[in-house]
Structures are given as C-alpha cells and as structure tokens.
C-alpha cells in the first residue's frame, strides 16, 4: 500500500488546479472538490499509516522516487517522497486536521463571494505542507517551505479589500522571509560541504564528518534555526503571527495553529543530527523556546481579541516544542505538536463559530453568557481549553506538556532554569485560558446571538474535542501505566531522550505541575468571576497598567522593530525616492527622446528635400570613396 504515497500530495494539488482553472463551478462542486481532495488524502494517509506500522520497511523508512527535478553538472535534486515515522505523524496530523477544517470551512465560508478561491488556496496550502514534510531532498522541502509561505500570504490577505489585512499579509511574508534567507544560506553551505541535499545522505555525512561542536556544524545549525524561528514565530521573529489573525478563522486554525507554524519544529527534528553536533545551538533552541513561551504567554493574558489570545498561545505552545527539541526530548516535542494541533485547531474553529454568531465581534469583553445559548460550542471549546491549560489526568495536553516539563529538568541537556520557565509558562497558560473561557462563555450576555452553526461546523468540533481529551492516552508516563505507543513509533527515526543520572521521582514533578496548573485556573476564576472589580483597581495603579500596556502590545516588539528597521528603511527610501541609479537610465531615455525630436524635424514631408538628401548623401559617399 505504501506505493500510494504519491497520491497524498497529488490529490490536494489536483483539487487546487481544478478550483483554480475551472471557472463558474457551483458552490456545491467547489465544496466537493475542495473538501473531497483533502479528505481522500487523509483516508489514504490512514491506510498507509496502518500499513506502515503493521509491517514497517526494513530500513525504517519508505522512499518513493518520482523523477529527477533537473540535473546541473552533478547537482541533481530528486522529486522523491520519504516516509518514516516522523513524517508519518506530520502527514497524518496535516491531512486529518486539514480535512476537518475544510469540512468546517465549507459551511463557514458559504456566504463568501470568493468561495472557490478560498478552497483553491487551502488545497494549495495542504499540498505545499505535505511536500514540505514528505520531501527527501532539502531543495524539494524548500519548495514546500516557500509554498506554505506563499499560501499563508494569500490567505492572511484573503479579504484584501481591507487595507490592514493586506498589510498583515505583507508583514507575515516579509518577516518569515528573513528566516527563509538564512535557511537558504544554510542549504548552500550544506551543499558545499556534501555536494548533495539528499536528507538521509546529509545526516549520514554530518554524523561521519563533523565533530561535536565543530564550527561548521554550529553555523549550519544556527542558519537552519533562523529559518525555523521565522516560520514558527519564535523570538525574535514572532511579531507576524498575532497580525496574521486578519485571515478567516479556518485559516488561523489550519495555518497559524495546527500545521504551518510547526514547520520549524519539523525542520529541527528532521535535521536533528546537525543540531546534536552543535550543543550550543541546541541549547539556544531551548532558551529561545523558554523565553518565547513566557513572553507570549504574558501577552496572551492582556489581549481583548479572542483570536489574538489564541495566536499568542500558539506562539507560547510552539515555544514548549522548541524547549523540548532543545533539551533533546525529540519525541516529546512531536507528541506535543500532535496534541497541540488537535486542541488549537479546535479552539480556533470554535472561536470562529463564536465570532460568527456574535456578528463578527472579536472582543471577549463584549461577549459573555454563551454557555447556555450555544452549549455544544461551549463544551467543545472547553475540551480544547482543558487541553491547552493542561488540566491534570483528563486532558491530552496534560500528558504532552507534563512530558516536556519533566524532560526540561531531567534530560541530559535540561536545566532547572528551563524547567522553571516551563512551569511558570504552565501557570500563565492556565490563567489566560481560564480568563478566555470566563469572559466568553460566563457572565451576562452582551451581544445578541446570530444564527447557530450547522452540522458541517459542529462535526469537526466534536471530533477534535474527543481527540483533545483522549489523544493523550497513547503516551502515558511510566508511573501511570507507561504507555509508549507514540514514542516507540517516533523513536524509530529520532534518537531516544538521554536522561541525567540519578534524577528524582517523576511523581513529584507531576504533582507540582498539576498544582501549578490548577492554581492558575483557580486564581483567574477568583479574579474574573468572583471579584470582577479587582482588575480595574489594579489597572488604575501605575505598575500594573504599564505592565498591561507592555503585554498588550506584545512587549513593544512592533514598536521597537518599527523604530529600528521600518523607519530607517522608510527614511532611506524617501531620500532616494528618485533612485539615483535610475537617473542614468532616465538620462538615456531623455537623450534618445531629444534625438528623436531633432531627427523628426528632417522628416518634412517635402519630397524635394528627400531627393536633395539622397543626392547629397550619394555625393558625399562617392567623394569619400574617391578620396580614401
């Protein structure tokens, strides 16, 4: 069955082509093609996945060579797909979550005038993302990498009539481009070193040729990391993600939560050999993750817009994944990626449904009291929120996040500081999640309800809600029965986490994490539900209000970048508005124009002048001929 692998990316591509080229399709056809292509992909992925797990290929990976892209004196990147347990997990999450989100969109976007365009972009996005994770060659992966960047741009600016949406799209495109450039340079160095971009060959070569801590390994790892943080919205390139909420809600769910932003995580996990050769860079990954999860968590606490809360929470959760990658807990990072994809897609979709019924109101303070009016949305949202807040024992998020917390302390590369950062992050996560729930669903109703969502919106929500609760049970810590289905699978590709010698019992850490999470929930509930006045009182004081402004604006990163990069650049462009190099060409044009005016005077229309010209010309030429 594994030879069907090529169908997985091809189906969404076919869907894109049909939707992009076929004009005047009815809305039903568009929905059928758009949803159908991705759903079929998901179905094939499940079949291939079952087949892959039940009889794995002997080398642990299945490679399907399709054709040679081009051949330029020895550099012959191949279009070939590579399925191992790491890409299997990613492909499964991408196709499965995408299929649900497409189904949701088929109802959510029904009123939109660009229905076909939306599904075309979405299908193209799924195709690019699948190419990214299935590529066996780094160049092909880069194609997917840029493809998702393009689709992200197109979908953030989907409602392009509004100027700020276009600006948000440009911001996302330009900022991720910074990382992409670094990554491209990394690829050049890798090619220079190994004369190939074939990933297994690269990893093999790197582990044979490079010493641990070699400068070249460090350089390459840093450049790849820069690519990863651009796409995954980590510090210092995180500012594009909150603005990316300008796109439709399903886009936020698909691209800016579940799949695309985790491309950085995939890249680092895929190139793990190179990162292990450079302990400094790997530690940097962990530190970036830890700092990002704290900063983004604080920002999420101060937002009004429900989608911005979720956006900052995405940045923060990817910070957890980076932290796990940095301490060498590879499978924990991938596990958290999967769980996060489920619950964050759910939260965004449910938030989209809430916003829709609240007449496009994004401000949580103007919602409220939706618990009884839309119980299904409430319960599914609650399931996602529980997972996000890592409610002990009953939510999937608890198991994945607890694993990261545990490894941040106990893994060989873990430190107490990283653990502490992750722990504080867990407290903040619990706090902003509870705040969001209380403001949106409890209290008095402030905005009248619009029409309630139908089946195609609720079915994906229910499926994702079930997964957000139960998906954690495939990987349980060793004191809870030790289920290791997931890590067994992933560790066929990624190395096992190396532990420090003589670490304390895991149970104590789980208890601390659980208490921290619960106290975060309780504190927020106490503040927002029991004593609503306390926030206003706090805001009237100097320090908390400054802190609030700082967090609300995302730590002034936008302001700083504006002052540091955007303003100087704009100044330079305004000075050089009439590009001085352009002057040369303008002068050339003016010269020819003048010449034209002068010469066209000689075209007088008088035949006798022309004859005189011919005669004089002949005489001159003859004279010259005789003289010379």
Give the footprint of another protein on this chain (CB under 8 A): 599-608, 611-612, 615
Encode 437-465 in three state secondary structure: HHHHHCCCCCCCCCCCCCHHHHHHHHHHH
Shorter beta-carbon distance to another protein: residue 73 or 625: 625
- Rounded to the nearest whole angstrom, what is the least distance from the CB of residue 598 to another protein in the complex? 11
- Rounded to the nearest whole angstrom, what is the least distance from the CB of residue 627 to another protein in the complex? 19
Shorter beta-carbon distance to another protein: residue 174 or 595: 595
- Rounded to the nearest whole angstrom, what is the least distance from the CB of residue 603 to another protein in the complex? 3
- Rounded to the nearest whole angstrom, what is the least distance from the CB of residue 591 to another protein in the complex? 18
Shorter beta-carbon distance to another protein: residue 211 or 602: 602
Query: Are the CB atoms for 253 and 122 separated by under 8 Å?
Result: no
| Long-range contacts (CB closer than 8 Å, 24 or more residues apart) made by 481-484 | none
- Rounded to the nearest whole angstrom, what is the least distance from the CB of residue 575 to another protein in the complex? 41
Query: For residue 236, is the peptide bond before it cis, meaning its omega torsion is within 30 degrees of 0?
Result: yes
* Tokens matching residue 7: 């169908």
- Rounded to the nearest whole angstrom, what is the least distance from the CB of residue 608 to another protein in the complex? 6
- Rounded to the nearest whole angstrom, what is the least distance from the CB of residue 184 to another protein in the complex? 53
- Rounded to the nearest whole angstrom, what is the least distance from the CB of residue 604 to another protein in the complex? 6
Distance CA 458, CA 464 (A): 10
Cα distances (angstroms) measured from residue 196 to each of 142, 242, 494 = 14, 37, 22
Distance CA 312, CA 308 (A): 6
Shorter beta-carbon distance to another protein: residue 530 or 597: 597
Shorter beta-carbon distance to another protein: residue 482 or 606: 606
- Rounded to the nearest whole angstrom, what is the least distance from the CB of residue 592 to another protein in the complex? 15
Query: Are the CB atoms for 275 and 268 separated by under 8 Å?
Result: yes
> Which residues have C-beta within 8 Å of that of residue 162, sequence separation ≥ 6?
246
Let me know if 327 is exposed, middle or buried by CB neighbors in 10 A (0-12, 13-18, 19+). buried
Distance CA 317, CA 340 (A): 8
Shorter beta-carbon distance to another protein: residue 540 or 606: 606
- Rounded to the nearest whole angstrom, what is the least distance from the CB of residue 625 to another protein in the complex? 16
Shorter beta-carbon distance to another protein: residue 479 or 604: 604
Distance CA 207, CA 193 (A): 13
Distance CA 9, CA 21 (A): 18
Shorter beta-carbon distance to another protein: residue 73 or 602: 602
Distance CA 514, CA 497 (A): 23
Q: Position of tokens 């279009």?
A: 79
Name 137's bridge partners: 198
Distance CA 321, CA 338 (A): 11
- Rounded to the nearest whole angstrom, what is the least distance from the CB of residue 601 to another protein in the complex? 7
Nearest to 115 by CA among 127, 123, 106, 104: 106
Chain centroid to CA 293? 16
Let me know how long the chain is. Answer: 628
* Tokens matching residue 350: 């449910």
Shorter beta-carbon distance to another protein: residue 482 or 596: 596
The span from the first CA to the last CA of the chain, in angstroms, equals 86
- Rounded to the nearest whole angstrom, what is the least distance from the CB of residue 620 to another protein in the complex? 15
Shorter beta-carbon distance to another protein: residue 304 or 609: 609
Shorter beta-carbon distance to another protein: residue 534 or 615: 615
Phi, psi torsion values for 63, nearest 5 degrees: -120, 130
- Rounded to the nearest whole angstrom, what is the least distance from the CB of residue 594 to another protein in the complex? 15
Shorter beta-carbon distance to another protein: residue 508 or 601: 601
Pairing of strands 61-68, 78-84: antiparallel
Distance CA 480, CA 406 (A): 14
Q: CA angle 268-270-275, nearest 5°?
A: 50
User: Collapsing DSSP states into helix, strand and coil, what is residue 65?
Assistant: strand
Nearest to 95 by CA among 149, 152, 48, 136: 48
Shorter beta-carbon distance to another protein: residue 532 or 613: 613
């Amino acid at each position: 069955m594994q030879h069907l692998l090529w169908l997985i990316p091809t189906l969404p591509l076919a869907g894109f082509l049909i939707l992009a080229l076929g004009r005047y399709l009815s809305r039903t056809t568009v929905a059928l093609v758009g949803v159908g292509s991705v759903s079929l992909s998901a179905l094939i992925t499940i079949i291939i996945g079952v087949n892959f797990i039940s009889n794995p290929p002997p080398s642990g990976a299945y490679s399907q060579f399709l054709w040679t892209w081009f051949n330029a004196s020895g550099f012959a990147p191949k279009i070939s797909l590579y399925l191992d347990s790491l890409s299997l997990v990613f492909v499964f999450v991408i196709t499965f979550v995408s299929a649900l989100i497409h189904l949701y969109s088929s109802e959510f976007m029904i009123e939109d005038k660009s229905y076909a365009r939306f599904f075309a972009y979405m299908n193209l996005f799924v195709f690019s993302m699948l190419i990214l994770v299935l590529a066996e060659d780094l160049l092909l992966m880069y194609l997917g990498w840029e493809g998702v960047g393009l689709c992200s741009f197109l979908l953030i600016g989907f409602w392009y009539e509004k100027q700020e949406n276009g600006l948000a799209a440009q911001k996302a495109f330009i900022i991720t481009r910074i990382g992409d450039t670094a990554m491209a340079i990394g690829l050049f160095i890798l090619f220079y070193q190994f004369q190939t971009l074939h990933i297994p060959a690269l990893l093999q070569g790197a582990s044979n040729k490079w010493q641990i801590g070699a400068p070249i390994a460090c350089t390459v790892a840093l450049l790849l990391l820069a690519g990863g943080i651009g796409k995954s919205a980590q510090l210092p390139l995180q500012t594009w993600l909150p603005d990316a909420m300008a796109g439709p809600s399903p886009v936020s769910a698909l691209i800016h939560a579940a799949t695309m932003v985790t491309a950085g995580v995939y890249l680092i996990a895929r190139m793990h050999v190179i990162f292990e050769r450079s302990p400094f860079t790997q530690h940097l990954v962990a530190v970036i993750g830890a700092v990002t999860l704290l900063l983004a968590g604080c920002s999420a606490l101060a937002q009004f817009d429900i989608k911005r809360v979720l956006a900052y929470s995405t940045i923060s959760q990817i910070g957890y994944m980076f932290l796990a990658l940095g301490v060498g807990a590879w499978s924990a990072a991938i596990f958290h990626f999967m769980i996060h994809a489920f619950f964050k897609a759910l939260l965004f979709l449910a938030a989209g449904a809430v916003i829709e019924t609240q007449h496009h109101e994004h401000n949580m303070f103007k919602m409220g009291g939706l618990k009884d009016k839309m119980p299904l949305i409430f319960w599914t949202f609650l399931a996602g929120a529980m997972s996000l807040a890592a409610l002990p024992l009953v939510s999937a998020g608890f198991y994945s996040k607890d694993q990261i917390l545990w490894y941040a302390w106990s893994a060989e590369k873990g430190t107490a500081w990283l653990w502490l950062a992750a722990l504080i992050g867990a407290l903040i996560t619990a706090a902003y999640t509870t705040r969001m729930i209380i403001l949106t669903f409890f209290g008095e109703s402030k905005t009248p309800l619009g029409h309630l969502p139908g089946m195609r919106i609720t079915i994906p929500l229910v499926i994702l809600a079930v997964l957000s609760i139960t998906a954690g049970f495939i990987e349980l810590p060793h004191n809870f029965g030790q289920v290791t289905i997931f890590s067994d699978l992933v560790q066929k590709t990624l190395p096992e986490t190396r532990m420090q010698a003589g670490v304390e019992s895991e149970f104590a850490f789980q208890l601390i994490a659980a208490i921290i999470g619960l106290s975060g929930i309780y504190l927020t509930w106490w503040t927002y539900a029991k004593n609503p006045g306390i926030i206003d009182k706090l805001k009237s004081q100097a320090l908390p209000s400054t802190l609030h402004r700082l967090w609300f604006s995302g730590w002034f990163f936008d302001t700083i970048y504006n002052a540091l990069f955007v303003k100087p650049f704009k100044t330079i462009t305004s000075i050089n508005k009439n590009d001085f190099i352009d002057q040369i060409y303008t002068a050339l044009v003016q010269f020819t124009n003048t010449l034209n005016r002068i010469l066209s005077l000689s075209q007088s229309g008088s035949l006798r002048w022309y004859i005189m010209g011919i005669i004089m010309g002949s005489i001159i030429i003859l004279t010259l001929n005789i003289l010379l």
